[in-house]
Structure 1
Amino acid sequence: MKAIWNDTVVAESDATVVVENNHYFPADSLKKEYFEDSIAHTSCPWKGRASYYSLRVDGELNKDAAWFYPETSEAAQNIKGYVAFWKGVKISQ
């Protein structure tokens, strides 16, 4: 699977995990040069507290376009450290 934004592959893996129709990519599949830490956080009742990354490609910023759970609940251990995308990031094979 590939995560693509601004015509650039920002993550690629054959080992994504699908939860609630979102592909979660292993951390080592991210092309780190496109990721910036964000101060944003949200909470999911069953997964835990999410942290975010923004994407920057060719000078364009997609704020908080990726999220992950640094610490997960017991029910979501399979995605601990994995990263999912939204805000126009296309997921394709």
Structure 2
Amino acid sequence: MSEVIDGAVAALNQKLGSFDEGTAKFVIEDEGSIMMDAGGARAGDEEAEVTLTASRETFEGMLNGEVNPTTAFMTGKLSVDGNMGLAMKLGAALA
């Protein structure tokens, strides 16, 4: 597992804890993927209700508050596949 994924898992668990709304997958391009659900964040690549894909820089920016998730989506830096309502709840939690 990459250090980027390890760091992102730790940051998501610290920022969000668990996500009781459903299952989400964050794909960090060229690094790997992270699953988020009621159990918290963990490295994994399973089926999810929504998949959010971004570069490492965009994802790190969302985690540290420098990048607004909605703006990233509107400018094409974040792609969403699946349940858009769930993606919006995640975006609000990250913002």
Decide: shared fold, TM above 0.5: no
- Which TM-score tier does this pair reach, normalised by the shorter chain? under 0.3
Q: Which structure's CA Rg is the greater one?
A: 1
Q: TM-score of the superposition, structure 1-length normalised?
A: 0.25
Name the structure where helix makes up a greater proportion of residues.
Answer: 2
Name the structure where strand makes up a greater proportion of residues.
Answer: 1
Q: With CA pairs under 8 Å and 6+ residues apart, which has the higher RCO, 1 or 2?
A: 1
Q: TM-score of the superposition, structure 2-length normalised?
A: 0.25
